Chains A and B, each alone.
Chain A
Amino acid sequence: AQSVTQLGSHVSVSEGALVLLRCNYSSSVPPYLFWYVQYPNQGLQLLLKYTTGATLVKGINGFEAEFKKSETSFHLTKPSAHMSDAAEYFCAVRFSSNTGKLIFGQGTTLQVKP
């Protein structure tokens, strides 16, 4: 079965520290991978995506993620956390066509401490 797993429902970092949010997927076919951010009572905003090509993907707000096929992972990183990064982060995978539905991970709450 196709699935997405985010390791760690809650991650806490100090301002200026490295942010690492983990995402693993299971699939028998090449997936399209996405990271979204959600602020309270708002919809989802796309941070970055991987479809094909370069496995290191850069997104908005200084975030990047690397697709590692051998590890079936797509971890999200940011070198230096900012207070405004505190939010809920979702990894999502689309397995079928470009209009296929997204399967979301459980989400990770990022807390940034001053």
Chain B
Amino acid sequence: GAVVSQHPSWVICKSGTSVKIECRSLDFQATTMFWYRQFPKQSLMLMATSNEGSKATYEQGVEKDKFLINHASLTLSTLTVTSAHPEDSSFYICSAPDRSNYEQYFGPGTRLTVT
């Protein structure tokens, strides 16, 4: 099956700094990618839809100036958490849909800890 990678798999940063997370589709092109966050023992919450070559679409309640999304190519989307705070600590997961089979492929996730 298709593979989606994320980098880094985990990151620790200090409060006030920015962190960039990469999501790559390794063997297929993804004009759309999705970014989710997951708090411990909770479900995935969609943050935004990343669209190649255009602006991302953010879900209600998600601060677009804080969570910057760039989808510059058909295989790469990035999520930058700006001015991170401890409450941004979470598990961030990206996914990319494969148009041919209705499936979405998920990355392995990135554990962000803000100290």
Contact = CB atoms under 8 A, between A and B. Distances in A.
Interface in A1-35: 32, 34
Contact of B97 (A43, A44, A98, A107): A98
Contact of A98 (B6, B49, B102): B102
B102 A104 contact: no
Interface residues on B, range: 20 to 34
Most chain B C-beta atoms within 10 Å of own C-beta, residue among A36, A43, A44, A102:
A43
A46 B103 contact: yes
A38 to B, nearest CB: 9
A107 B43 contact: yes
B43 A105 contact: yes
Given A41-B91, A42-B108, 6 more contacts: A43-B4, A49-B102, A90-B43, A98-B97, A100-B97, A104-B45
A84 interface: no
A5 to B, nearest CB: 11
Contact of B107 (A34, A41, A43): A43
Contacts of A41: 91, 109, 111
A2 to B, nearest CB: 13
Contacts, number: 54
Most chain B C-beta atoms within 10 Å of own C-beta, residue among A36, A101, A106:
A101
Contact of B104 (A51, A102, A105, A109): A102
Interface string B47-71: 0010000000000000000000000
A96 to B, nearest CB: 11
Given A42-B109, A106-B43, A101 B49 contact: yes
B49 A43 contact: no
